[in-house]
Amino acid sequence: MKIFLDTAEIEEIRIAARWGVLDGVTTNPTLYAKVGGSYEDILRQICDLTAGPVSAEVVAEDVEGMLREGRAFAKLAPNIVVKVPMSEEGLEAISRFADEGIKTNCTLIFTANQGLLAAKAGASLLSPFVGRLDDINEEGMEVIRELVPIIEMYELDSEVLVASVRHPRHVTEAALLGAHIATVPFKVLQQMVHHPLTDKGIVTFREDWEKARKAAAEKDAQTAAAAGGSGRHN
């Protein structure tokens, strides 16, 4: 399963790229609002850090507006994917972008049917929001459980991108369900790295290593002292 970072923070993307685990990036207007500045500059910088797909979201609600914004994003870098919300207008825009050879990520998907429609319209990426469904006491992963086999059974040319990930367990479940991609906040990526027993084990190994080195150094010193002492008597 591919792992995307769900952020517009350049430093977080740089770190994940250095770890060798970064397959792409998703942004949205809320993530962009957290960093501010020029959205276009941020997207260009992200595209310099990863060759994987970088999602840039349109905010227009009409087809022509979505097309205008999306075409401008697509000119920024070859790996830009235009993020379009699930709606009647969104489906039309996705279909028009597909005709123009511009890749899209259909966002704000909450049912397998919405995912099926987006795939048929020509979206490369389908983004079901699992966390927001969990937030309203629904089972977010159920959408992934239904959508992944539908995409595979009908050999649709789209990938299921699990979005709105809240914790590492979402990532494990996404992988077990055969999702193609999970996009994760940097904090979740860090949580995936750590385990209390791993972190404790690293500290214990270092302490034991230092104790052993100290004991070995003391033994060497005693041996040298003994050898020096017996040399004087001879």
Rank residues 28 and 50 by Cβ distance to ligand E4P and give the closer one: 28
Among 49, 146, 66, which Cα is nearest to 107's? 66
Rank residues 112 and 163 by Cβ distance to ligand E4P and give the closer one: 163
**Which of 6, 69, 159, 173 touches ligand E4P (CB under 6 A)?**
6
In the bound complex, what is the minimum distance in angstroms from residue 179's beta carbon to ligand E4P? 13
Does 178 engage in binding with ligand E4P (CB under 6 A)? no
Q: Which tokens hold the place of 80?
A: 């830009």
CB 80 within 8 A of CB 54: yes
CB 31 within 8 A of CB 5: no
User: Which span (64-72, 84-92, 125-133, 170-178) binds ligand E4P, by CB under 6 A?
Assistant: 125-133
Strands (E), 22-103: 24-26, 54-57, 80-85
Q: How many residues bind ligand E4P (CB under 6 A)?
A: 12
214 is catalytic: no
CB 22 within 8 A of CB 54: no
Helix (H) / strand (E) element for 206: namely: helix 196-233
Kindly list the residues in this chain that would bind ligand E4P in the complex (CB under 6 A). Answer: 6, 26, 28, 30, 107, 127, 129, 131-132, 163-164, 183
Residues designated catalytic = 83
